[in-house]
Amino acid sequence: IENQVAYKHYIRALSHWPKDALRPDCQFQDVIRRRVDKRFFPVEGQKPADEKAELEQVNALYSLLGNRYVQKYRITGDLMKPQSNPTHYTDLIHELDAVPNRTWWGNMTNRWKGFLRFK
């Protein structure tokens, strides 16, 4: 394969990609891997992948993997603490961390809490 360099970079970047605990049956790296395999191992009649364009795509993947944009464009001020609900984002992070470990009963309890809101 003439595009082996880009393919190896894709495989390396995807091997370092974190697993999604919320959707264990649909992982980002699996979706991208299928796309990469289609591009680098085309069926007859399909044109092969352009190595320069694929290397640019791999660079974008590496920049996401390394949190380059979070470091470059930091969120400052009160953007993460809206006046209407200052704890919204911290509550959201807490909930997202708790979901993968929650039992069936915990899911049902939370669902009913959403239906019945008492103040």
- High-pLDDT (> 90) share of the chain, %: 43
- 54's CB contacts (< 8 A; 6+ apart) are 3, 6, 7, 10, 39, 40
How far is it, in rounded angstroms, from Cα 54 to Cα 46?
A: 16
Is the pLDDT confidence value at 118 over 60?
A: yes
Q: For the segment 26-50, what is each residue's pLDDT rounded down to a tens digit?
A: 999 999 999 999 888 888 888 888 8
Q: What is the mean pLDDT of the chain?
A: 87
Q: For the segment 55-80, what is each residue's pLDDT rounded down to a tens digit?
A: 999 999 999 999 999 888 988 878 88
Q: How do the domains of the chain map onto residue ranges?
A: 4-72, 77-119
> How far is residue 75 CA from its own chain's centroid?
19
pLDDT of the residue at 35: 92
- Residue for token digits 């190595």? 51
Cα R_g (the chain), whole angstroms: 21
